[in-house]
Amino acid sequence: MAAGVVHVFATPAHWGEWPLAGAFFAASAGFQLLWGVLSFPIGNVFLRVAGILANLGILGLWGVSRVWGVPFGPHAGVPEAFGAADLITAALEVAIVVGLLWSLLPRESHGVLSVGGYRAVVVLAFVALGAIAVPGSTAALEHSHSHDPGTADHEDDGHDHEHGTDENMDMESPADTEVSADPEQTAEEEDHTHAPGEEHD
């Protein structure tokens, strides 16, 4: 559920960059939040397997986007930089997968939690959710779609770049900047008038 909350806050920024990316984040958030709610009362094998596969898929796409870049879209083939929000959600998803795989292992039953113990575990889980989701959501709101330094300057990667084209406009030619060594001669040339048809040497 904490990973889903972070994905909710990350959705608007990604939607503004590319609607398909925003839709993916919204779908990921919706699945993780719904899965987290259903896992409390149900928690059957089907739901566990669905959680494993979905979170592995999200983790896989995240890894591809950081190592090689997504193969399509406005930033196709451009690896994205690691950020606090995506590292937090990735860690949460790894914990989900590991925990669910562990829960599927055969084991003997040695008893169940009491009602009070179950409530304490739920309270602790929601405290942990808040402690993780708040900084993750804050980082997601500050999301900036940065890329590796190797990206070409001319490539449109969603950022404003400073180019050196304006510098050429400000440069003056040597003829424009050449100043006469004799100030009096310069003043004399400026005051000198020519008669019609008279040529100046």
Q: What pLDDT, in 10s, does the model give residues 139-161?
A: 787 764 444 444 434 344 443 43
Average pLDDT over residues 87-115: 86
Quote the pTM value.
0.62
pLDDT at 126 over 60: yes
pLDDT at 131 over 50: yes
The DSSP secondary structure of 68-129, one letter per residue, reads: T--SSSTTTT-PBPP-HHHHHHHHHHHHHHHHHHHHHS---------HHHHHHHHHHHHHHH
Instruction: Quick: pLDDT tens for 35-94.
Output: 999 988 888 999 999 999 999 999 999 999 999 999 988 989 999 999 989 999 999 999
